Chains A and B, each alone.
Chain A
């Protein structure tokens, strides 16, 4: 078995009960909505199709390619699933994938599965579909570029949510968790973006009808665009804040009563805690974050163009 666990799957024991339950509740509500919507819009034939698409996402996560220094890029698949299958079906498919990974392979825990589904199944789908939906009528190149950005952002959103959950549970120090998670996933996200864009462009070239079907039944268009943009804004604004000025986020959590629920011990900054590669003011890191996003956008546009030419 060549199944290798991915770094975003939180095992049991790493989140406390409060955080686990909160995210189970959010996840159950979202899945409930997805079930209601798909039951209404899908025929009996669609269910086996979704099951096999879930197996496809699971299997596609095994396709990897060497990036550099022994690390390899591979797919998480949330954005791809959302674009190909639509948002609600995408959520159910990702939920099934994460459920089987947790139940059968112990990749990700059971009590924390709500959080895992939220991070990897719901956030990624919302961003992936929201962005893609906003350029539904544009050229193929634009669609591919936006899909690439969405794929990168979806991984970053999942990583940020994971870091915040670990911090709220008192398992990890906020600053370290956010910086470590985001810097690792900034690279993993590039792999995600490359594979997502190339896979989509392949499908555009060979079976464009499959992608047309999804757009015809565009469900709740505007809302998804809004959701995708809002989540991405939160990622872009919150992550520099959390990594450069953790006390600010700490303050918010204390004011909202989160910290009592989550953490039993208050946070203490390690003496001489500085990171040379990041500025100390929140502003400079926000700028860095925006520049990073723009660079990815540029790469994605170039990749989209070159792929379009070859087709």
Chain B
């Protein structure tokens, strides 16, 4: 596997791509915070928030619908919110029987449920856009500028850099298990659950040892290349005037959503 298998970055030279990573991180978090702060059923504000997202998509040269394609990733989690349909008091909309329960959907419950889904759907798209327009090392660097402790950003940088190497190891282990797990079609194969768990555990232990031993080699190789405990970058990351302006403008617009949503 290649290192870019994990990369969500889409190369382009658009306005959004050229923005300083700090700007994108701050605006993304402000946007997600704003969505979380909007009251239930603030349809106009949710709509404007969506237009903001489409506009950001368009500015990124990736196409207006770019983030839409991957936006349903958080949908399975909606299951946990289903209970609000029935548990919030309001005017009943419909009642049905499910196993042992008589369930009544209320209008307030429906409102809450829809609002949760919309907040989640908008927020996840902005996060997708962030990683699609910013290289991951640049995001880590932005976090460093935003006062995230260096030890943490360094761990994250290493995690990102070596993840694909270890995932390759996992694939090798999985392939080896597959190759040794002959089975006749239609006949139950493999031992008990405990046995299968033990095999998986041995694989995890094996992976641990390989990772541990590799980290020694990695460290020595880095020392040989002049590592001094800090990861340097040739990208200067300087805030230009357009970065400041964009940040200010975006934050004002996001603030307006709050005004619209609360009127």
Contacts and interface: CB of A to CB of B under 8 A. Distances in A.
Interface in A82-133: 84, 92-93, 95-97, 99-100, 102-107, 109-111
Interface stretch (B55-63, B205-213, B240-248): B205-213
Contacts of A49: 212, 215, 219
A20 B171 CA distance: 36
B229 A47 contact: yes
Interface stretch (A173-181, A224-232, A234-242, A283-291): A173-181
B102 A104 contact: no
Contact of A39 (B112, B151, B206): B151
Nearest to A77: B204
B206 A202 contact: yes
Contact of B73 (A5, A35, A199): A5
Interface in A38-77: 38-39, 44-45, 47-56, 58-60, 62-68, 73-75
Nearest to B169: A59
A177 B121 contact: no
A146 to B, nearest CB: 16
Interface stretch (A135-143, A189-197, A215-223, A253-261): A189-197
Contacts of A206: 205, 209
A38 B80 contact: no
A99 B152 CA distance: 10
Interface string A248-288: 00000000000000001111101111111000000000000
A294 interface: no
Interface in B178-227: 190, 193-194, 196-209, 211-212, 214-215, 218-219, 222
Contacts of B28: 110
Interface in A163-206: 166, 170-173, 176-177, 180, 190-191, 194-203, 206
A96 B163 CA distance: 12
B207 A59 contact: yes
B45 to A, nearest CB: 14
The 10 closest A-B pairs by CB, nearest first: A198-B201, A51-B158, A194-B197, A202-B205, A13-B120, A13-B119, A11-B74, A12-B123, A173-B83, A59-B166
